[in-house]
A and B are shown apart, each in its own frame.
Chain A
Amino acid sequence: MNNRLRSLRAERGWSQQALADRLEVSRQSVNAIETGKYDPSLPLAFRIARIFGLRIEEIFEDAA
């Protein structure tokens, strides 16, 4: 699954740690999602979408 997390975070000037604090996860988790090593669960994807004020499909897209 591809995502725009890194660019969305950069647009807002947030560090990985700042986003991790907002999501209440580790910075390692944010990095793993951004680099595509880990696909978040649906509840975490909803939390990410809520923080950026976007729909899930505007952040994540199917790699296929």
Chain B
Amino acid sequence: MLCRGQSIAQKRYQRDVMILMAVYLVLVLCSAMFVKHGSTTHLLVYVFSIIPAIPIILLIARMARYLRDETDEYQRYLRMQSMLIGAGATLSVLVVTDFLRSFAHAGDVPPFTLFIVFAASMAATELLQYVRNRVPSNE
């Protein structure tokens, strides 16, 4: 089930990712403005702090659904590989920083560092996969 080199599952996944990212941007901006300028209660600050995380959690769930929907097993294998490398890099950074905090009394890592590590290592893996799997046009 392919459309111009991309499977239907890939096209749907990319469409949903774009939608979720747009929703995320709107929610981050709205939450930041509300928390900064609105006269909010402590509970509301918690609520508005959690709201922007919802599209990110949905994005992670969408990744899992993509793996279920993808009928091209090699594409599924590549995506699973990049997700595993992303998860591995994230957990490695987490365990190193946890030991640094526990034994060396180092400070906390800045917010969102771990998700950036996950996304960046996934993206780097997918770039490497793209370079390694380029197919000659004369085949």
Contacts and interface: CB of A to CB of B under 8 A. Distances in A.
Q: Place the interface of chain A in its size category.
A: 10 to 19
A20 interface: yes
Interface centre among A26, A33, A41 (most CB of B within 10 A): A26
B41 to A, nearest CB: 52
Interface stretch (B27-35, B73-81, B96-104): B73-81
Contacts, number: 48
B135 to A, nearest CB: 4
Interface of A: 15-16, 20-21, 24-29, 31-33, 37-38, 40-41, 44
27 contacts: A15-B139, A16-B135, A16-B139, A20-B2, A24-B1, A24-B71, A24-B72, A25-B2, A25-B71, A25-B73, A25-B75, A26-B5, A26-B6, A26-B72, A26-B75, A27-B5, A27-B135, A27-B139, A28-B5, A29-B72, A29-B73, A29-B74, A32-B74, A33-B74, A37-B132, A40-B74, A44-B73
